[in-house]
Structure 1
Amino acid sequence: MVLGKGTRLLAGAMFVVFMLLVGPSAPGGALFVRSLPIGAVKAVVPNRVMTWNICNPCDVSNIDRAAEIATYAPQVIGLQEACARDVERIRDYLEVFYGLDYHVQYGTVLQDWGRCGGVPWSPGGFGQAILSAAPMTDRVNVEYPDGGSEDRGYMAVTTTVGGRSVRVFNTHLAQRQQETIRAGQTRVLAAAVARHDRAIVLGDFNAVPESPELSPIWALATDTDPECRPVPTGPCEPTTDWHSKFDYVFLRGFAAREHRVRPTPYSDHHMLHTDVEPKVRR
């Protein structure tokens, strides 16, 4: 059952009242909801997109995840390793506590009660999710023919970034030692991306920029980090705790104005966000 906005707001308001009654509960007396840092944006940035592998299974509070997202408030966020129940809570916390209203679509590839809770006969959905401040249409969810050691896939929606309609993809490719499987996955993904003159491809590709399996994507799009190319032109900023560049915001029909990689204590992947602008068509 999908809750309506009014129902979600009521539930959120009741949770706020509960917090006020019971007070702090985290170890050391920390509050449930942490204040955003100085310099955090006050509203959704309409031309900002973000990708973040939120880490699962990890013992992390969804309120903390919501606060990390709210600090940068992108127009579109692609999440990987996402349980549907966690994403729903993150979306609610963003709205109730930080005043950020997002739509959500899911790209579930597994029904996994071990990772995502529930019970064996009603497990939680696991995979990708996209949150967008603008409505989303034409969602597709595709599982790759070969996911490798775990089912993997991509999802895509049409939404608005920087005032322009755009096809947004979100994916999570096969694990690190599975290069040949990732090569098959990028061919499937590239074929879908190629059908759109304007596209943004978010995700955890589990491969560094010079990896041969990324060639089909490089042929269509450019990463937001100007130093990260199939032949590196400079120091490519890592996006993981093990100092590798695995996370990408690939742009097709858009140009990057600036990008930031933000390490976070709440995942082994950093948050990567970029502000974009449409390319001028000649």
Structure 2
Amino acid sequence: MEISGAMDFHCEEAMVLGRGMRVLTGALIVACVVLVNRGASNGAPSARSLPAEAVKDVVPNRVMTWNLCNPCEESNADRAAEIARYAPQVIGLQEACARDVEKIRDHLESLHGLVYHVKYGTVLRNWGRCGGALWSPGAYGQAILSAAPMTDVVNVEYPHGGSEDRGYMAVTTTVGGRSVRVFNTHLAERRQEAVRADQTGVLAAAVARHERAIVLGDFNAVPDAAELAGMWKLAVDADPRCRPSATGDCEPTTDWQSKFDYVFLRGIVPMGHGVHPTPHSDHHLLHADLRIT
């Protein structure tokens, strides 16, 4: 009887302890859930959530041009954040490594809710600029990101690149609800005026075939430089005050206070623009809002 009673007591005690452990385990689970949720509310969002500053939509009549600076040790997440701040419909990038552009596009979608298509205007493969394997260096050149699909992609390398291969790319996409031809280029480096003049001739001939066109890029020349005359005959700057003369009032787009970056418009009306210095490049972001008739 004493043995049986002892066994009954221990079994009952074990059952109580078992219930207690289940209660304790449940309490711990609840506490963990509370802590995780509290951590998320304090700035640690889950992998699927967007930050509070997520843009989620583009400005449909806005275009942008930006020379990324290369080689530069910059974060592609920071670059994406700069672009997302203005959320253009179309972005033309220069000095762009294909691998970096892909990451920028991914960050724009995952961190800011902005979804872009991308096309590349590779002019060379360069390990020093874009990394990769020595036998397979990364692609380098221009890129266009567009919120709308792009068609009729053309990638042209200039016959004379100067000290480094250069070229232009062109796509047909939608800006302001209308189909338009968009060009993106990067001309030869400074102190290579004759080379840039040849390049501008090639580019201008292509632009002239379209009644309506947007030309983005880093032209490496100030507005009154002789090599830009061919572009000024065809198009106007997105800033109506900027003209190729001493009376023009052109905002600088570089850290050395020169205007090298342009949004040239052919058959399109400028509605506003902005020049935005950034710590992530020696070129400023330049955006323009347009009315396409």
Q: With the length of structure 2 as denominator, give the TM-score of the two structures.
A: 0.81
2:276 paired residue number: 262
1:143 corresponds to 2:157? yes
1:97 paired residue number: 111
2 CA distance for matches of 1:80 and 1:123? 18
Contact 1:84 1:125 (C-alpha < 8 Å) held by counterparts: yes
For 2:73, which of 45, 59, 63 is the aligned residue?
59
1:164 paired residue number: 178
For 2:59, which of 42, 45, 53 is the aligned residue?
45
Structure 1 counterpart of 2:214, one-letter code? I
1:108 paired residue number: 122
1:232-247 → structure 2 map (5 Å cutoff): 232-247=246-261
**Further displaced range: 73-82 or 229-238:** 229-238
2:212 paired residue number: 198
1 CA distance for matches of 2:111 and 2:251? 32
Structure 2 counterpart of 1:98, one-letter code? H
Structure 1 residues 240 and 174, CA gap change in structure 2 (3 angstroms): same
2:286 paired residue number: 272
1:180-199 → structure 2 map (5 Å cutoff): 180-199=194-213
Structure 1 residues 71 and 148, CA gap change in structure 2 (3 angstroms): same
Contact 1:52 1:203 (C-alpha < 8 Å) held by counterparts: yes
2:223 paired residue number: 209
1:4 paired residue number: none
SS at match of 1:228: coil
Contact 1:66 1:93 (C-alpha < 8 Å) held by counterparts: yes
Identity across the alignment (%): 75
Q: With the length of structure 1 as denominator, give the TM-score of the two structures.
A: 0.84
Greater fraction helix:
2
2 CA distance for matches of 1:255 and 1:181? 30
Structure 2 counterpart of 1:111, one-letter code? R
The Cα of 1:233 is off from its aligned counterpart by 3.3
Alpha carbon RMSD of aligned pairs, Å? Answer: 1.7
Structure 1 counterpart of 2:267, one-letter code? G
Which runs of no fewer than 5 residues in structure 1 stay unpaired? 1-19, 25-32
For 1:231, which of 245, 250, 257 is the aligned residue?
245
1:30 paired residue number: none
Contact 1:41 1:72 (C-alpha < 8 Å) held by counterparts: no
Structure 2 counterpart of 1:258, one-letter code? G
Structure 1 counterpart of 2:95, one-letter code? E
* Largest Rg, 1 or 2: 2
Contact 2:55 2:114 (C-alpha < 8 Å) held by counterparts: no
Which runs of no fewer than 5 residues in structure 2 stay unpaired? 1-39, 45-49
Structure 1 counterpart of 2:87, one-letter code? A
1:248 paired residue number: 262
The Cα of 1:234 is off from its aligned counterpart by 4.1
1:5 paired residue number: none
The Cα of 1:70 is off from its aligned counterpart by 0.5
Deviations for 1:233-267, whole angstroms, at most 9, x for unmatched residues? 34310000000000000001111100000000000
Contact 1:56 1:115 (C-alpha < 8 Å) held by counterparts: yes
2 CA distance for matches of 1:54 and 1:103? 18
SS at match of 2:215: strand
2 CA distance for matches of 1:184 and 1:41? 41
SS at match of 1:142: strand
The Cα of 1:41 is off from its aligned counterpart by 5.4
Structure 2 counterpart of 1:235, one-letter code? D
For 1:155, which of 144, 154, 169 is the aligned residue?
169
Aligned residues: 247
1:121 corresponds to 2:132? no
Deviations for 1:92-127, whole angstroms, at most 9, x for unmatched residues? 010111100000000001111221111022211000
Contact 2:66 2:93 (C-alpha < 8 Å) held by counterparts: yes
SS at match of 2:265: strand
Contact 1:34 1:64 (C-alpha < 8 Å) held by counterparts: no
